[in-house]
Homo-oligomer: A and B are copies of this chain.
């Protein structure tokens, strides 16, 4: 279970960093901008959650492998992504991003729950963990955050997954089962939203 979570985390961090990388390149940023935006997209949500919950040390402060990984990624991303063009398709990125969204949101909720927060706040913390990296990416890139515009369900998927997790915890399922169910329901709902172009009503 733990190994699987670490794999998802790794995949999710890379997918988030990738989306920051692509946005920063589109804005013609140089290496400093590309690295910073990729980093903030990957870790902004979790960092904001930890600031709000007053948890220290921050995830990426304790594990400097991740900042270094993104630093190297930002250095080699252009040739790497060109070479892997046929492997890393938009489709794969959507999958990886949805997995990351599920994992970050559900574990964010779980951390808030352990700190004794009330239910609705736990879900908010989970959604913040999942989506605020992307929000900060768009604010820095001088765009209205994509996740707030009328686009395919995204925050809503995280919101649902977090309630699934809390619900299963409430009925005393094992933590592994609740985590998996939360991540899978976020992932599945997000994939459905992409496939069938599901949006919230205006």
Contacts and interface: CB of A to CB of B under 8 A. Distances in A.
Interface in A21-78: 24, 27-33, 36-37, 47, 51-52, 54, 56, 58, 60-61, 64, 67-68, 71
B148 A29 contact: yes
Nearest to A148: B33
Contacts of A149: 28-30, 33
Interface residues of A, number: 48
A58 B52 contact: yes
A67 B142 contact: no
A121 B54 CA distance: 19
Contacts of A51: 51-52
29 contacts: A27-B144, A27-B148, A28-B149, A28-B150, A29-B144, A29-B149, A29-B150, A30-B148, A30-B149, A30-B151, A31-B200, A31-B201, A32-B155, A33-B145, A36-B148, A47-B52, A51-B52, A52-B58, A52-B61, A54-B54, A61-B121, A64-B119, A64-B120, A64-B121, A67-B121, A68-B120, A139-B140, A140-B145, A142-B142
